[in-house]
Amino acid sequence: MIDLLELSIEKELTGEESLLNRISDALYYTTFTNHSLLSGSIGSLLYASYLYKYQYEERWGDRLIDILETIITEINDVSTPHLLTAPLAYGASGLGMVMNILKNNETIEIEYDEYLSFFDELVCDGIVKLLGNKSTDYLYGSSGAVNYLCQRTHIDAVKICLEQTVDKIESLVEIRQKGITFPNAHLQVMHADNYEIDLSLSHGQCGVLLSLLKIYEKGIAQDKIKVLVEGGIEFLLSTMMPIDFEQNKYSYFPLKFDDSQPSDAIVNQGFYGNRLGWCYGDLNQVILLYRAGQLLNNHTWILLADEIGLSISQRLSQASTDMKDSHFCHGTSGLVQSFKSLYAITRLPIYQQTAQFWYAETLKHLEKELLYYNTNKAGELLEGFGATALVLIAALHKDSSQEWDAIFLLS
């Protein structure tokens, strides 16, 4: 039996809260066709918990119970097999991270430990299978599952699992002329003829390295991880090229890279796109360089992150960022939370100011988007209004829990 904790707080709405209420309506009336984190009911479970607790909307309390009861039933009767797999995007690690947030926020009373222990075993077994298939992808492979397990290192079996995971990743490393990379079979699933090295957080080098740093922070396999991170960043830096705002060349790093060709080859020059998003682009690499620099005590990386970070903070146009909507994955709300993460890491005011700029842009986009939007996609976490609602709640309710952005490797 699942019980809601009672909330009965009344307050007058501000203009931004009224806007959030419109988003809430769009989210509430979305019908899901799957149980997943990115586009289904698990993502809804996440933002429903925040809308209930911080916006005081009772309908979301009922929705929380409905979603949880349905998911638990389908886990118990194995009617939705993908819930018993490891990937963050649609499996037990994504559900586990959301349930861990529900537990910490004390929004709903449920026997969390029983389910989380079950997920631990599922995810550990699943990582073995994913790495056996060379799938290191953050959203769809082993790296996102690692992020979940790093919240569970008070369990001895989880620590052992993470140690073994590092050993397996180490065995899969691809040695390059400069540095190392990691295989990602998921990219071949997406595009059978894919041969480039992806450098992004969502699907590539950055996501793998940030996940390894999560393990490092827990004091596990630190010597091995240090070598892997140093080699991975060496390769990343080998792809770095000068920028030229006057020539509309804004990015230091390519979105992906053909290692059989030099950086200045035509094929690789085409990969230095202007995208600046949560999912891929220079912003990913700045977060990585700061995290790695601080944890591994490498001041050179931190100084480089400062230099690139200042540059990306000056990219405030659609042309220089490819920002066209409010959505989190590759839209303005993802930039808001990413720059807030940089501010939390560094306390440099420029990042706070840039986050505020993109927050204002997010509100402008929402005013237009809420007049006409794809009702089938509105409830999605990454490419709908789901994570964008969480960004607004964080801005409106300063006391709100920010744990959710750990799902996106931002904390």
* Residue-wise DSSP of 250-316: --SS-SEE-TTS-TTSHHHHTT-----SSSSSHHHHHHHHHHHHHHTT-HHHHHHHHHHHHHHHT--
State the Cα torsion 312-329-82-107 to the nearest 10°: 100
Span between the terminal Cα atoms of the chain, in Å: 32
Closest by alpha carbon to 279, among 249, 241, 323? 323
Q: What is the pLDDT of residue 1?
A: 44
CA distance 190 to 198: 12
User: Which residues, given as ranges, of the chain have pLDDT below 70?
Assistant: 1-15, 189-195
Q: What is the pLDDT of residues 46-105, one digit of tens each?
A: 999 999 998 888 899 999 999 999 999 999 998 899 999 999 999 999 999 999 999 998
Q: What is the pLDDT of residue 10?
A: 46
**Quick check: 212 and 229 in contact, CB under 8 A?**
yes
Q: Does the pTM exceed 0.85?
A: yes
Q: Tell me, what amino acid is at 377?
A: K
CA distance 192 to 169: 23
Q: For the stretch 32-55, what's the b/e string if a residue is b when 16 or more beta carbons lie within 10 angstroms of its beta carbon?
A: beebbbbbbbbbbbbbbbbbbbbb
**Quick check: 210 and 201 in contact, CB under 8 A?**
yes
Q: What is the pLDDT of residue 191?
A: 62
Helix (H) or strand (E) holding 175, with range, is: strand 174-175
Helix (H) or strand (E) holding 20, with range, is: helix 15-28
